[in-house]
Amino acid sequence: MPRIQTIGYEASTGRLREIYNDLIKKSGKLAAVHTIQSLRPESIVHHMDLYMDIMFGRSELKRAEREMIAVVVSVANGCSYCTKHHAQALNHYWKDDGRISLLTEQRWADFLPEKQQALCRYARHLTLEPSGHEDQDHTDALKKAGLSDAAILDATLVTAYFNFVNRIVLSLGVEVETEGAGGYRY
């Protein structure tokens, strides 16, 4: 149950209703992570612009790699909402429940190639020990795995974005929608 007031679709009017309709049109559904921001409708728009750029914009990182990072960060933060949503999105690409389970158990070394393992280690470390990145260059392992500076920036942006969203979800009590995480357009 949300810890703050939210305005659901049925009660929405004006600009908020427009934003909700646009989200439903583009994404297929309205997510609880959007309605939690309903008291500040324009923040939903800016949030989605950032999400779309980071997760769907041009990048050397494949969409699946970005979703993989989202899952790793969300698991590290204990955010079941984002873990569920983004594990499902990742499985849209992987189509392998077993690999998804191994990823959520942080057993990526059991099945991922070195490049993806390096991305997972980087995202987890940056999530759990961000200050450790100030004095030590943790990008070196990514470079050795063949990632360019632009790809490293993208991995950092995805990691930072999901730390941001995980904190909104966890602090404000966002729960997985009653109809589940499915039905979105990936």
| pLDDT > 70 in the chain, percent | 96
pLDDT score at 169: 98
The answer to whether residue 180 scores a pLDDT higher than 60 is: no
* 3-state secondary structure at position 101: helix
Residue range 37-54: mean pLDDT, rounded: 97
Look up the CATH number of domain 63-172. 1.20.1290.10
The span from the CA of 156 to the CA of 150, in Å, is 10
pLDDT score at 32: 95
Short-list 33, 48, 65, 76, CA closest to 174: 33
The answer to whether residue 27 scores a pLDDT higher than 60 is: yes
Q: Where are the domains of the chain?
A: 14-56, 63-172
Mean of all residue pLDDT scores within the chain? 94
pLDDT score at 183: 55
Residue range 46-52: mean pLDDT, rounded: 96
Q: Judge contact between 127 and 73, C-beta under 8 A.
A: yes
Its pTM stands at 0.94
pLDDT score at 135: 86
Q: Judge contact between 61 and 158, C-beta under 8 A.
A: yes
Read off the pLDDT of residues 78-133 as tens digits, 9 standing for 90 and up. Answer: 999 999 999 999 999 999 999 999 999 999 999 999 999 999 999 999 999 999 99
pLDDT score at 184: 59
Specify the amino acid at residue 96.
D
pLDDT score at 94: 97
Q: What is the DSSP string of 138-169?
A: TTHHHHHTT--HHHHHHHHHHHHHHHHHHHHH
Answer positive or negative: Cα dihedral of 130, 134, 148, 154.
positive
pLDDT score at 177: 83
Nearest 5°: the CA angle 128, 133, 136 is 135
